[in-house]
Amino acid sequence: AQSVTQLDSQVPVFEEAPVELRCNYSSSVSVYLFWYVQYPNQGLQLLLKYLSGSTLVKGINGFEAEFNKSQTSFHLRKPSVHISDTAEYFCAVIPNSGYSTLTFGKGTMLLVSP
Amino acid sequence: NAGVTQTPKFRVLKTGQSMTLLCAQDMNHEYMYWYRQDPGMGLRLIHYSVGEGTTAKGEVPDGYNVSRLKKQNFLLGLESAAPSQTSVYFCASSYSTWVETQYFGPGTRLLVL
């Protein structure tokens, strides 16, 4: 079975500062990786996903993530955050072989202040 | 397109009462899912469906039942509500496989007293 660890439950940052949200996973097989965002009082929406190819994945709203197989990580980054990026961010993983379900991490709350 | 809609948005139940949560999608998606979200727990899969007439258990299925009689609808039932089922429930759908983007509804907030 696979698992996801989001190392920080909350990340406070000032507006226009860079941010990195960390995600590590555990799996005995190769995986696909996702980042979803949940704005206050809304459902989740996809930010980006890694299926294959380039390990640097660009998503919506200026976010990007890098897949590092040796470190089993998929950290999310943004060079300059806005107040509107305040939200909860979820990393998710699914094995790319066989049948399984999507496993979500527990989430990281990004708090952007002026 | 309305996307994924959920009914109701908020509900208060007494222990032992039953209710059904309705999820509807207008994107012709094959896969549909029910998750629950609890503080510090992330999202946990309750049940899912890979097509009309099919359902399967997820990570936390106990105390819930589901039905997918029509492709566009996925119902989640609580036969005898318990305080431990107080949560926010999200429905999602995707076009086909698990690696496709999941589209989420706005959620149903359930309080069981």
State pLDDT tens for residues B81-96.
Answer: 999 999 999 999 999 8
In this structure, which amino acid lies at residue A113?
S
Q: How many CB atoms lie within 10 A of CB A109?
A: 15
What DSSP assignment string belongs to A38-58?
Answer: E-TTS-EEEEEEE-SS-SEEE
Q: Using an 8 Å CB-CB cutoff, list chain B residues near A105.
A: 42
Which residues of chain B approach chain A closer than 8 Å at the C-beta?
Answer: 4, 40-45, 48, 58-59, 90, 92, 98-99, 101-107
What DSSP assignment string belongs to A90-110?
Answer: EEEEEESSS----EE---EEE
Contact yes or no for B19/B109 (Cβ under 8 A): no
For residue range B45-71, list pLDDT tens digits in order: 999 999 999 999 999 999 999 999 999
> What is the end-to-end Cα distance of chain A in Å, rounded?
41
Pick from A25, A52, A104 the residue to mutate for testing the B interface (most B CBs within 10 Å): A104
In this predicted structure, the answer to whether residue A67 has a pLDDT above a threshold of 90 is yes
CB contact under 8 A, B102 and A107: no
